[in-house]
Structure 1
């Protein structure tokens, strides 16, 4: 079951993205949020911290919680795990499933996922298409004992919406590694670039809130189309 502060943060995020606070440019006060959600001050503050970390709001001591200006261009939010459907909200996003099957973890994957060799994994390879042009190739491994069911319909939409809203997974944190590589022939063909063109690579190791790794993923982005946003808060 999702932690309460995350449910509140998700609710406020939907309201922010839906334009509920566009006129005032600020959230209700902490006291109003405590009353509206009927939770403790500590729970509200954790929810607010999550919105701050997502780059959606900033706090001014004694004045309130204000909306941050939206980016002029759509970018990939490095601090988010919600995927393209959440980051590129103004774009038309399509997904082509290239492969989806169950396999057993070999020694390398078992070491990365901290599981036994032979553990059942879902393997998914997807081509993400933005505004009718190839944008990225996503390769993911999910532990089947944590994500017991995946099909093409789920993988063609937002996998993370399914994990959070349907499976109620309490996702905690992720390590991200960013680098550049030259694309191979197969990737070049999918992304419609030249062989050995550069590609932006983001590799994720994603954990539940208890620290259990449940996903490894690698995204290969078209070098001319991907822009990364990392909003930093100084405390």
Structure 2
């Protein structure tokens, strides 16, 4: 973890632990520089990271302030899905399939790879507090995500990619629609065939705009409460 990421994590933890409300002013940059023994540029990068995550906002000439947090029980979606957010919940996973295969045309197009390239295929059910949350099918470009095993995919694959493989995760494209559960989906999510589902397709990119993960996720409608937060507007 880089210095600015460590600082951002500590500030975020302070916000959470002290239950700071919207509008609460945080210490000025100079104070943060002294507290964390860091340069101004490093602290500013930490502040920028927190701002992108929707945890704070800055007012020129006034300071840094806490932003209103999500409602209790809601999961925040970010450009990295919700893997970081899930640390607040009791999350487990059951791995159904893990193998190396050739991509379909759909997968190859979304990952910008050839049909002869290899991908890791991961299929798993994720649980939140013992209840089914979602059914995931993910395809990882093996030239980027060079190794996966059952132990890794039972946890946070994104943590492994960023910390274990040293890759810099950038942004994502997300597509959503509402449909009805098919028989297999219903069985795995412990619901009834024909029940509603939220279906999300996401393409995740490294910070150099290279796609590395194409995921298709079917959510249990009974557990799916999500929170989206913009980080500003540009004209």
TM-score after normalising by structure 2: 0.86
Q: What is residue 143 of structure 1 aligned with on the other side?
A: 141
> Residue 47 and residue 202 in structure 1: after superposition, are their counterparts in 2 closer, same or farther (change >3 A)?
farther
Which residue is 2:99 aligned to? 101
SS at match of 1:102: strand
- The alpha carbon displacement at 1:193 in A equals 1.3
1:53/1:66 Cα in 2 relative to 1: closer, same or farther (>3 Å)?
same
Equivalent-residue separation in structure 1 for 2:179 and 2:155 (angstroms): 27
Structure 2: which 5+ runs fail to align?
none
Task: Identify unmatched segments of 5+ residues in structure 1.
Answer: none
Match of 2:113 in 1: 115
Does the 8 A contact of 1:136 with 1:220 survive in 2?
Answer: yes
CA shift digits 1:109-157 (9 cap, x unpaired): 2111111111110000110011111111111110111111100100001
* CA–CA separation in structure 2 for the residues paired with 1:23 and 1:188: 38
Other-structure match for 2:210: 212
Secondary structure, counterpart of 1:138 in structure 2: strand
Residue 82 of structure 1 deviates from its aligned partner by: 5.4
Q: Provide the secondary structure at the position in 1 that maps to 2:135.
A: strand
Q: Shift in Å at residue 93 of structure 1?
A: 1.1
Alignment RMSD (CA, Å): 2.4
Alpha carbons of structure 1 residues 211 and 233: separation in structure 2 relative to 1, 3 Å: closer
User: How many pairs are equivalent?
Assistant: 229
1:72 corresponding residue in structure 2: 71
TM-score of the pair, normalised by structure 1: 0.86
Specify which of 1, 8, 15 is matched with residue 12 of structure 1. 8
